[in-house]
Amino acid sequence: RVVMITGDYLKTAIAIARNVNILQPQDNEDLAAMDCARLRPGGEYLGHGDMDLLTSSVRVFARAKPEDKLEIVKSLQRQGAVTAMTGDGVNDAPALNQANIGVAMGIQGTEVAKGASDMILTDDNFCSIVAAVEKGRAIYAGIQKFVAFIMSVHIAEVMQIFFCIVTGIPVMRTPLQILFLILVTDLPPSIALGMEPGEKTILLERPRPKQEPVVLGWMWFSMVLNGAVLSVVIIAVYIISLMLYCDGRVFQSDIDQLEDFQPKLMNARTVAFISLVWSENVRSYTSRSFDKPVWHDLLGNVHMQKAIILAQICLYVAVLVPFFSTDILQLRGLDVGITGWLLALLGPVGCVVLCEACKLITAFQMQRHQRTLAEHHAAEDKRLAEAAAKHSVSSQPPPQPTKPAAAVFSAAPEAKVAMAAAPSAAKSAAVDPESQSVASPKAAPAKQSPAGGPPSVGCACFLGPTVAQMSIGGAAARR
């Protein structure tokens, strides 16, 4: 929500807000815009409850003093809002310092404002703030994708080892192979996921609540589901490899009875190792979006291509380089034959198909989450609007009775208010919205009532030369 706080008169502020779409055509000006004098009737600020009720719905504050800006920021923070305050002058410094994010103008801003701020706009362009919000959302989404990917990989590792132990088949990989997978082949793609450029629709998403965790409930479901898919596919490849290389035997007790069973078991583990690395590399691309298909903007992340190339180089070094593969990692990529390499392809193919099918469930959960946020925000906005409307009605002063007499008084040497006798004079008065001066034709002579009583009264206002300061875009104009 964008809120404009200005020292301009109310009509001028409303016109500017309409021009830049802070106020929409359907907005009620009486509720969405107000003079800051209403925040401090009688010179004292309203209580926290009444103040928060006004600031929760008003988007334009006119004729604001420096202390008004500070009180508005405090009120928004009391309501749990994360506030970003922009300013360029010395009088903006208290509010800039109080806000969660103080944003000073880099070109027209004073040194005091820059010192009190957390961020400086080098181009004095509000659109740069929007771009910064978009970049921040993209970074946050990248963190979520990184966590979701790396956690699903670890969940799959646990599932695979647990299945092997429970069923009595040989453990799929050695501890050194697990460490190599985590640090060398899994880490580069997961880091690349954290550097995702962000989806084009990211600004259309609802703002997340402050207390919302990084990993949501539907993300946990997606991580477990994808981990289970990866486990099922790799376990299937491993069992087929055991049957292929271990003479049709699968269980550890049966394999131990074979002569020279160790090289045969290494061959089966090598096929499962290759298939797992390929599957995780493919899943790196499917994990770039929780709901979009894998072919959507497939090559949009340059860092992902670099990470996959690095992971593939490490894989072939691990399974093909003599001594390092056979004696250290206990892998035999040169001995599995073309059959083993083709069998390993079942892993990535199965992962692509099943993980893309799982996105249908994840997309439904994401849409439901966004609908829940939208309904919550709509209900909160409706409640605040109704409360503000009631407060606006209750705070209006009662109408004053019309006195049956003409009156002329002077409020100040610069401003005179005359009660004239012609009703047509007030109706024909012209208001200049820029200077807020009121021009009126000469009042007609008062007409006596037929009974000889007091004249019938009309009202016209005459403002003499007044001085006001207005700040638009950092420039002050004296009127």
What would the pLDDT profile of 392-414 be if each residue is shown by its tens digit? Answer: 555 554 444 433 333 333 333 33
- Residue 462 sits at the vertex; the CA angle it makes with 457 and 466, to the nearest 5 degrees, is 155
Residue 321 has a pLDDT of 92
The model's pTM is 0.72
CA distance 277 to 316: 10
CA distance 217 to 223: 10
Residue 34 has a pLDDT of 92
Residue 247 has a pLDDT of 87
- Give the CA distances from residue 49 to residues 38, 78, 83, 478, in Å, rounded to whole numbers and listed in that order: 14, 10, 19, 36
For the chain, 479 residues long, the average pLDDT of each consecutive 10-residue run is 91 92 87 90 88 89 92 92 90 92 91 92 89 91 92 93 94 92 88 87 84 89 94 95 91 87 92 95 91 87 92 93 91 92 94 92 87 80 68 52 35 32 34 37 37 34 30 32
Residue 479 has a pLDDT of 29
Residue among 229, 249, 253, 228 nearest 240 (CA): 249
CA distance 203 to 182: 34
Tokens of 313: 């180089």
CA distance 365 to 359: 10
Pairing of strands 60-62, 4-5: parallel
Residue 385 has a pLDDT of 66
CA distance 175 to 70: 59
What is the three-state SS of the chain?
CCCEECCCCHHHHHHHHHHCCCCCCCCCHHHHEEEHHHHCHHHCCCCHHHHHHHHCCCCEEECCCHHHHHHHHHHHHHCCCCCEEEECCHHHHHHHHHCCEEEEECCCCCHHHHHHCCEEECCCCHHHHHHHHHHHHHHHHHHHHHHHHHHHHHHHHHHHHHHHHHHCCCCCCCHHHHHHHHHHHHHHHHHHHCCCCCCCCHHHCCCCCCCCCCCCHHHHHHHHHHHHHHHHHHHHHHHHHHHHHCCCCCCHHHHCCCCCHHHHHHHHHHHHHHHHHHHHHHHHHHCCCCCCCCCCCCCCCHHHHHHHHHHHHHHHHHHHCCCHHHHHCCCCCCCCHHHHHHHHCHHHHHHHHHHHHHHHHHHHHHHHHHHHHHHHHHHHHHHHHHHHHHHHHHHCCCCCCCCCCCCEEEEECCEEEECCCCHHHHHCCEECCCCCCEECCCCCCCCCCCCCCCCCCCCEEEECCCCCEEEECCEEEEC
Q: Which long-range contacts (CB under 8 A, 24 or more apart) does 381-385 make?
A: 381/57, 384/53, 384/56, 384/57, 385/31, 385/57
CA distance 309 to 303: 10
